[in-house]
Every structure is written in structure tokens, then in C-alpha cells.
Amino acid sequence: MKKLLAVALIAVFAVSIAFAAGDARKGKREWKGECREACHDGSKSNVPALSPTSKTQKQWSSLKGKIDACVKKHGKKANTENVFQYLYDHAMDSDQPETCG
């Protein structure tokens, strides 16, 4: 009985971690402090300036792999899930698009 309970708790924990969303508030700081300053502020000629309102939620979702690669390459302490959640939550077609700073 104890083994069954332990297995059930482990399964619930694993599923909850798999579906956990990032923290958009932390993602905002991480995006602005690391990702945007590193290459997406418009200072590099071959890298476009980006903000959350540069794309729709669907477009951000389709770029999740590229966001992950960019954060891993340039982010020192940034968390991919947090950065993605910030970009997604404040996209052009979201309920709260990030219109300034």
C-alpha cells in the first residue's frame, strides 16, 4: 500500500512539473537584463530588435525552440520558461500587450 501511494505521489509530482508554466514577472527581468541587451535591442545589424509585441502568441509559440537556444547561448541566469512566458503573455494579440518599456 505504501509503495502504491509513493508511486502515485511521484507521478502527480512529475506531471505537475511537466505542465508548470514559467513566471512572466521573472521573465521580464531576465529578458530585459540579458536577452534584449545581448542581441535583441537593434544594435546588431543581422539581429532584429524584438519586444513582446513584435509577434503574436502563436508566433512566439512556434519560436519556442529558438528562444530556448538563444537563452542558453546568451543568458547567464535566465530561465527559458520564464522568458517565453513573458513574451507570450505580453504578445501583440494578448489581453495585456506590453506597449512600453
60-77 pLDDT, tens per residue?
999 999 888 888 887 788
What distance in Å separates the CA atoms of residue 24 and residue 11, rounded to the nearest whole number? 26
pLDDT digits 0-9 by tens, 41-61: 888 888 888 899 999 999 999
Count other C-beta atoms under 10 Å from residue 51's C-beta. Answer: 20
Nearest to 35 by CA among 24, 21, 20, 50: 50
Task: Please give the model's pTM, rounded to 2 decimal places.
Answer: 0.73
